[in-house]
Chain A
Amino acid sequence: MTETASRSKTTGLGQKGPSFLMALPAVAFFGIFALIPLIGVVVISFMEWNVLGSPEWVGLTNWEAVLFDRPFTWTALGLTVTFVIGSYLFQAPVALLLGVFMAGQQRYRALLAVLYFLPLLFSSVAVGLTFQSLFSPNYGLSAALPFEWLPNDWLANSDLVMWVMIFVVGWCFVPFHGLLYQAGVRQIPASMYEAATIDGAGRLRQFFSITLPQLRYTIITSSTLMLVGSLTYFDLIYVLTGGQPADAVRILPLDMYVTGFASYNLGYASVIAVILVAIGLTLSLLLNVLSGSSKMDSDKAGA
């Protein structure tokens, strides 16, 4: 009784929440180093800037040059699409199956789950140097294993390098998405499986009729992270290949870096960056719409 009384009293006072000062540090950091740069990249895309001098306004020149006078932009876009789709087709099924598998109960699975996590502990440079060594034609895998069919120029073969990169990037990111799926599967009510078992549904049927639909929010979260993540992925591709051979994996983020910080054309690089942001935001929004509602607000624990 007294509790309700005091409650109505406090709310009756037109209780104010915490002061905005509480949020100020976060807002300041986020505003200065994330939001302003986001606007800044659009501004710089209309400027000519070669790092040393100061930026100069040139209007649409950069945009025209990058979009129309530079055929490589479209090649890079094509490579990016291949990389994003390839990465998704590799990572999504493996991560999903792995997550479902890890959610099981046997002790050996718990042990496997411990080991699956390991790639998350290595920096992309560390992973890059490791695979560079493993894929070396002189002393790597192809020298150590007696299989004739193994290529010995994994990273120097322009037909192969894209698929090698998709694999290596997947090696790094599958564990994280596997964890997401494992958590998702563990939240599915057991009663659903029990009911399905009683109805005589086999495990395969249960997977498609219960597990997959119940995981829809996890699938959307994970897919968004995967797609936008590969769209803007830079580290490993730069370390392992620098885009070579023959620019076969010079996807847009790498193209942006090389154009900006190796060729010192920051105006062009900003155009590429704006294109990346636009594609990324479109992708996230699209997936958000596909999910039916704003997934960030909804609570899938109730699902």
Chain B
Amino acid sequence: MTHTTSSEPATPDAKTQKAITPETAGGDRGNIKQNKVRRTGAPGEKLNILGGIGGWLWLAVIILPIYYIVITSFRTSEDLRANNQLLPSTNPTIAPFIKVLENDFLHYFTNSLIVTLSTVAVVLSASVMAAYYITRSTTLGGKRLFQIILLGIAIPVQATIIPVYYLIQQLGLYDTLWALILPQIAFAIPLSVLIIVNFVRDIPAELFESMKVDGAGEWRILTSLVLPMAKPALMTVGIYQALQVWNSFLFPLVLTQSSEVRVLPLSLWEYSGQFGIDVPATLAAVVLSALPLLIAYIFARRHIVAGLTAGFGK
């Protein structure tokens, strides 16, 4: 089975897909020219139109709130009350953004960055090592461990927050960045291990064995064989978990308190209370907090979507 290549068809980019399989458009509901000739059934045409209408309709649903955030963040709150809120301001201003930046935004941003990067770094290294052990272990241990970790996917974060709160308090870590990093690593591990195991499993056993014959130790096998082969999985896991951690709300809400260790989602929450009726400033903070992800998405869209679809599709 060619599992490593099975991630290819998931590439979201239509052009690449077309190039690989010009005529074999898999689940294509909406026909390419060649198919149109063959598919002459009237009901088919009808569904296609419906699909198109539905697609554009959903786009409107998605875009309206985003458009609203952006245009509102460039106006004053007087402007918001006086004019039609769905039209861009005639006097755009960046004052809301300045207000947010003057209110420690960069500090919160840095906290989020520290928490996200360290969580993801540890999740990736711990998961890839665990995945190597699980796939190559000859004892029952590997299999058992995998089963327990799979069970972990079904553990809801929300349901364990009370003991986690107790634990963090007892460890003296309440209201520190550690309180955010350590539990989030733990909750990211099950899904990450699952995705990485699915990739590592596809590495032919011969490669492991020939490396061993050449005298390579565990670390060498891990770094020169497992890591490069699992790269797509690591990207998927890294991106997905970074999104989760960057946007997480419950852990910061329960496990931190002071503004010193405040992260972005919580800062938005605080801003909305602090700024009160200054809705544009609150929404400017929303824009600023989403901006890094948006920039990352613009530059790495193909990898992000391909990674997510391949990782979960497997």
Residues of A near B222 (CB, < 8 A) are 18, 22
Residues of A near B159 (CB, < 8 A) are 38, 41, 232, 253, 256, 273-274, 276-277, 280
Knowing A15-B138, A116-B58, A144-B84, the reply to whether A10 touches B209 (Cβ < 8 A) is: yes
Chain A residue, CB-CB nearest to B24: A190
Chain A residue, CB-CB nearest to B23: A190
Residues of B near A37 (CB, < 8 A) are 160, 162-164, 167
Residues of B near A276 (CB, < 8 A) are 156, 158-159
Q: Does A148 contact B (CB under 8 A)?
A: no
CB distance from B299 to the nearest CB of A (A): 13
Q: Are A22 and B290 in contact (CB under 8 A)?
A: no
Residues of B near A113 (CB, < 8 A) are 12, 305
Q: Are A25 and B59 in contact (CB under 8 A)?
A: no
Q: Are B186 and A32 in contact (CB under 8 A)?
A: yes
A to B contact number (C-beta, < 8 Å)? 388
Q: Are A119 and B265 in contact (CB under 8 A)?
A: no
Q: Does B145 contact A (CB under 8 A)?
A: yes
CB distance from A176 to the nearest CB of B (A): 8
Knowing A183-B10, A204-B47, the reply to whether A33 touches B26 (Cβ < 8 A) is: no
Q: Are A18 and B137 in contact (CB under 8 A)?
A: yes
Q: How far is the CA of A205 from the CA of B44 in the complex (A)?
A: 9
Instruction: Identify B160's interface contact among A16, A41, A175, CB under 8 A.
Output: A41
Q: Which listed segment binds B: A75-83, A121-129, A155-163?
A: A121-129
Q: Does B228 contact A (CB under 8 A)?
A: no
Q: Number of contacting residues on A, CB 8 A?
A: 131
Q: Does B231 contact A (CB under 8 A)?
A: no
Q: How far is the CA of A193 from the CA of B185 in the complex (A)?
A: 43
Chain A residue, CB-CB nearest to B5: A301
Q: Are B30 and A104 in contact (CB under 8 A)?
A: yes
Q: Number of contacting residues on B, CB 8 A?
A: 133
CB distance from B190 to the nearest CB of A (A): 7
Knowing A38-B155, A232-B156, the reply to whether A19 touches B218 (Cβ < 8 A) is: yes
CB distance from A62 to the nearest CB of B (A): 12
Q: Does A30 contact B (CB under 8 A)?
A: yes
Q: How far is the CA of A114 from the CA of B305 in the complex (A)?
A: 9
B residues 199-226 in Cβ contact with A at 8 Å: 206, 209-210, 212-213, 218, 221-222
Q: Are B163 and A109 in contact (CB under 8 A)?
A: no
Q: Does B88 contact A (CB under 8 A)?
A: no
Residues of A near B17 (CB, < 8 A) are 105, 186
CB distance from A91 to the nearest CB of B (A): 12
Q: Are B51 and A202 in contact (CB under 8 A)?
A: no
A202-237 interface bits toward B, Cβ cutoff 8 Å, 1 = contact, 0 = none: 111101000100100010010000001001111100
Chain A residues in the interface with B (C-beta under 8 A): 3, 6-7, 10-11, 15-20, 22-23, 25-27, 29-30, 32-38, 40-41, 43-44, 55, 94, 97-98, 100-107, 109-110, 112-127, 129-134, 136, 138-141, 143-145, 171, 174-176, 179-180, 182-191, 193-194, 197-198, 200-205, 207, 211, 214, 218, 221, 228, 231-235, 239, 253, 256-257, 260-261, 266, 269-270, 273-274, 276-277, 280-281, 284, 296, 299-302
- A-B pairs with beta carbons under 8 Å apart, 18 shown: A15-B138, A15-B212, A18-B133, A23-B142, A104-B29, A112-B55, A121-B297, A130-B69, A141-B85, A179-B12, A180-B309, A180-B313, A182-B12, A189-B26, A194-B24, A203-B47, A232-B159, A300-B314
Chain B residues in the interface with A (C-beta under 8 A): 1, 3, 6, 9-10, 12-15, 17-18, 21, 23-32, 35, 38-39, 41-45, 47-48, 51, 54-56, 58-59, 61-66, 68-69, 72, 80-81, 84-86, 122, 125-127, 129-130, 132-134, 136-139, 141-142, 145, 148-150, 152, 154-164, 166-167, 182-183, 185-187, 189-190, 193-194, 206, 209-210, 212-213, 218, 221-222, 243, 246-250, 254, 264-266, 268-269, 272, 279, 282-283, 286, 289-290, 293-294, 297, 301, 304-305, 308-310, 312-314
